[in-house]
Homo-oligomer: A and B are copies of this chain.
Amino acid sequence: MQGIIFGGKSFEHEISIVSAITVSKKIAKVSHFIFLDAGHNFYLIPKEKMIAKTFSSGAYKKMPQLSPIQGGFAYGFLNRKKLVGIQWINIVHGGDGEDGVLASLFAFYGIDFIGPRPAASAVSFDKYLTKMYAKELGVKVVDYALVRKGEAVNLPFDYPVIVKPLTLGSSIGVSIVKEKSGMDYALDTAFEYDDQALIEPFIVGVKEYNLAGALVGDTWELSMIEEPQKEEFLDFDKKYLDFSRTGNANKAEILDKIALDIQEAFKKIYNVYFQGALIRCDFFVIDNEVYLNEINPIPGSLSNYLFDNFSKVLGDLSKKTPQAKEIRVNYHYIDKIHASKGK
């Protein structure tokens, strides 16, 4: 059985709700829904209540509250019920979902799930770690500078630049800065969300391409490559619509060579840290060279609109999630020390 978990204490709480509703319509088999509210409480949501108003109105608070237990969740008090043996699809965008918190909670309670594991979350949620990760794997990235709150800004590249909070997605807190005079305001905006900001050259008119996929066992299941429609850059209002998208992907018209390079870059990024997740990587192409822009380890509406066989891809992935290695705990050393002390 499969369920969807969504919500989260995060700036992307709302879009997670929209995303979960969208995905629930694309996968017939999903039988359970868990909403994680901003107070970190879990609620079991009946399928017929999977509409935005359930959450914005607070109506969800009347639904059964869940507690994590080994293997799943439990609810009820005198008549206690267990939800075990369910694989949860993690659609908590941003904090809680993409920073590895829920992945760790699931690891701790031995709950099977689809989504990024803790190390994958770390290298995708933090844009500075993403840069070093991509470079290590031989995938090009655009220049960057890390600025911490209170530090002076000394850029090794020219304006215009793009200023991003270090750890948020969905374009929240992101500004384009055309000249130095605009930097303070852009940094103030970014620092509302994070104590660090990443600054990159802003490349006017750069070509952007998105590719989603997963390694399922030994098989790569890759989506079409889309050239997303965009304004100056994808702002939150615009991007928000992605989370409710179910179709109309704009297949990129690119040379086969570029398409192959994008696929190769995707595979390098994915393997092996992202096993168990369906991710989307956003690339730039500059002078026919492929650059990683960002990794979305839980993309909006799971990028269902990029696949012509979305339900099958997710079904295949569900059978191949990484399982924890068996750990044998023993007390050999303590016993040995006690023995040598004659106790």
Which residues of A are in contact with B by a Cβ distance under 8 Å? Answer: 9-11, 13-15, 17-18, 38-40, 52-53, 55-56, 67, 70, 95-96, 99-105, 107-110, 118-119, 121-123, 125-126, 129, 131-133, 135-136, 148, 193-196, 237, 240, 272, 325, 327-335, 337-338, 343
Contact = CB atoms under 8 A, between A and B. Distances in A.
A202 to B, nearest CB: 23
A105 B40 CA distance: 11
B123 A9 contact: no
B14 A331 contact: yes
Contact of A132 (B9, B99, B132): B132
Given A14-B330, A56-B331, A133-B132, A108 B101 contact: yes
A285 to B, nearest CB: 24
A17 to B, nearest CB: 7
A132 B273 CA distance: 14
How many copies of this chain are found per oligomer?
2
Contact of A38 (B119, B136, B327): B327
Contacts of A121: 118, 122
Given A55-B334, A122-B123, A194-B325, 16 more contacts: A10-B327, A11-B329, A13-B329, A14-B330, A14-B334, A15-B333, A40-B109, A40-B110, A52-B334, A56-B331, A101-B118, A118-B122, A129-B133, A132-B136, A195-B272, A196-B272
A317 B194 CA distance: 22
B109 A104 contact: no
A334 B17 contact: yes
Nearest to A196: B272
A122 B329 CA distance: 23
25 contacts: A10-B329, A11-B327, A13-B329, A17-B334, A40-B110, A52-B331, A52-B338, A55-B331, A99-B118, A100-B100, A100-B104, A100-B118, A101-B104, A101-B107, A101-B118, A102-B108, A105-B105, A118-B121, A118-B122, A119-B122, A119-B126, A122-B122, A123-B129, A132-B132, A196-B272
Nearest to A137: B132
A129 B118 contact: no
Contacts of A194: 325
A56 B101 contact: no
A201 B331 CA distance: 33
B40 A108 contact: yes
Contact of A9 (B102, B103, B272, B329): B329
A56 B341 CA distance: 15
A119 B129 CA distance: 9
